[in-house]
Amino acid sequence: MYAQMVESTGKTVKTAAEMTPQEAAFQARIDAGEKIEPKDWMPDAYRKNLIRQISQHAHSEIVGQLPEGNWITRAPTLERKAILLAKVQDEAGHGLYLYCAAETLGISRDEMYDQLHSGRAKYSSIFNYPTLTWADMGAVGWLVDGAAIMNQVPLQRTSFGPYARAMVRVCKEESFHQRQGFDIMMKMANGSDAQKRMAQDALDRFWYPALMMFGPSDKDSVHSAQSMAWRIKMNSNDELRQKFVDQTAPQADYLGLTVPDENLKWNDEKGGYDFSQPDWDEFYQVLKGNGPCNRERLGARVKAWEDGAWVRDGLMAHAAKQDTHLAAE
């Protein structure tokens, strides 16, 4: 797969002959499937690339609470409300494990927040789309968490120990999220005509943004070749996108819904579906901050950070007082 990656991206990584002995020994550990732990030697670029990916992942979990948080007060039943509340809380937990994993690489939580709040760090493009109806809660769980699982199950085998271990719990919880989304879609798709229309509309709006979650096509991916050589990433963007379509298209059929793609068709020869690519211009616009909800999402995070200043100040003052007491004893 890695050789294929090099071919499709046109990007190469250092050969063994170009590596220093320390780099070659590091690569050999990765190739042997060993885990790299925070105190181990690692190339600066490995550390930097991991901080980039893990912190973006953490930001995605945190910003990802917003589109669903929007529906907690409007969930149709108490049971649905309790389930959605638990799911949104899980996402906060995922963000925290991931920030912790990134901190072990030498970046502070404040620096990561600052990168997010100043717009320097990315988070997943998907969260810049609005959630307009209750059916969107179904589509988000089914498609967005479904896409996240497709990407994150292989990351349980990623080379950096703290990231791989965080992924084990994250994936267990994401599976529950995906199932609850599918359950909402089943109810809606088998409900009244109006509910069925809502479910179809949610699928129509979330299908292509979900395909974008896997990142640009392999030939345009900046990091894939090196990230795959270091097992920071286990699969290419296109490979995971294909797997996602292959898994999800029959689920849409089961729901009696139509994937909004005239070109979606099973291809016996390749053993997978042919499908249309998302609008990549739209994807890059969202990444630049011009998606439908970018400003609203970032604004909400910055406001939460500023509104919480008094809590952080209070905790710091309390901790300083405790330290003074301990020092006096």
Residues in touch with ligand 3HC (CB under 6 A): 52-53, 56-57, 60-61, 64, 91, 122, 124-125, 144-145, 148, 151, 212-216, 221-224, 227, 233, 237, 287
CB 95 → ligand 3HC: shortest distance, Å?
9
Is residue 50 within 8 Å of 232, Cβ to Cβ? yes
Cβ closest to ligand 3HC, residue 92 vs residue 315? 92
For 126, residues 6+ apart whose C-beta sits below 8 A from its C-beta are 64, 144, 147, 209, 210, 212, 213
CB 228 → ligand 3HC: shortest distance, Å?
9
For 18, residues 6+ apart whose C-beta sits below 8 A from its C-beta are none
Cβ closest to ligand 3HC, residue 189 vs residue 213? 213
Sign of the C-alpha dihedral, residues 134, 135, 141, 143? negative
Residue 327 to residues 11, 222, 262, 313, 317: CA-CA distances in angstroms?
Answer: 56, 51, 71, 21, 15
CB 285 → ligand 3HC: shortest distance, Å?
12
CB 93 → ligand 3HC: shortest distance, Å?
10
Q: Would you mind telling me the total number of residues written for the chain in this entry?
A: 329
CB 315 → ligand 3HC: shortest distance, Å?
27
3-state secondary structure of 71: coil
Cβ closest to ligand 3HC, residue 25 vs residue 168? 168
CB 139 → ligand 3HC: shortest distance, Å?
12
Is residue 123 within 8 Å of 185, Cβ to Cβ? no
Cβ closest to ligand 3HC, residue 188 vs residue 212? 212
3-state secondary structure of 279: coil
Cβ closest to ligand 3HC, residue 41 vs residue 112? 112
276 DSSP assignment: P
The two tokens of residue 276 are: 């249309």
Cβ closest to ligand 3HC, residue 287 vs residue 302? 287
**Among all chains, which residue has been given the structure tokens 């609203």?**
296
